């Protein structure tokens, strides 16, 4: 095998249609555009979404509501999850870094601690937000709550 003998596999390369190159080519005359009408002329262009006069899809299908760009979506973490984490890894302080390192949340998440479950460990918790019941449960055990 030499560089000058290399060629593509047989059947992998197709020759392009040579349109408008005379009657003998089979694609002369109207150049595969059919007869008359706007579509046969040069410069023809339809409006985006035009469906031949039929009511277009974007007008047939109604839209409802809106997307609030300022909405904050919290990643919920319950007290029983914090209790399990503290028990397994002997922790006294739980921060965002701790939750990320143990795979409970991602770095981009905004975390809210919810009051479901039971907490017996005295913990110092630092995350973005807390429910009232979670704050009450953490402080009842002697822990502290820090909002980021």
Sign of CA dihedral 100, 105, 106, 108: negative
Domain boundaries, the chain: 74-147
User: Per residue in 55-95, pLDDT tens?
Assistant: 999 999 988 889 999 999 999 999 999 999 999 999 999 99
Closest CA to 87 of 59, 118, 116: 118
Global pTM value: 0.59
| 94-128 pLDDT per residue, tens | 999 999 999 999 999 999 999 999 999 999 999 99
Which class for 28: exposed (0-12), middle (13-18), buried (19 or more C-beta within 10 A)?
A: middle
pLDDT computed for residue 62 by the predictor: 87
Give dist(CA 71, CA 78) in Å, integer.
21
CATH number for the segment(s) 74-147 = 3.100.10.10
Q: Of 84, 74, 71, which Cα lies nearest the Cα of 121? A: 84
């Amino acid at each position: 095998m030499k560089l000058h003998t290399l060629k593509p596999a047989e059947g992998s390369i197709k020759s392009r249609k040579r349109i408008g190159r005379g009657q003998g080519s089979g694609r002369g005359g109207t150049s595969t555009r059919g007869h008359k009408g706007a579509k046969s002329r040069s410069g023809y262009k339809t409006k985006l979404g035009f469906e031949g006069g039929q009511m277009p899809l974007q007008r047939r299908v109604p839209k409802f509501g809106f997307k609030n760009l300022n909405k904050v979506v919290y990643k919920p973490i319950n007290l029983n999850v914090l209790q399990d984490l503290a028990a397994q890894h002997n922790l006294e302080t739980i921060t965002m870094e701790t939750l990320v390192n143990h795979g409970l949340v991602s770095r981009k998440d905004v975390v809210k601690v919810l009051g479901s479950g039971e907490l017996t460990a005295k913990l110092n918790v630092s995350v973005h937000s807390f429910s009232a019941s979670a704050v009450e449960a953490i402080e009842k055990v002697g822990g502290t709550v820090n909002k980021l």
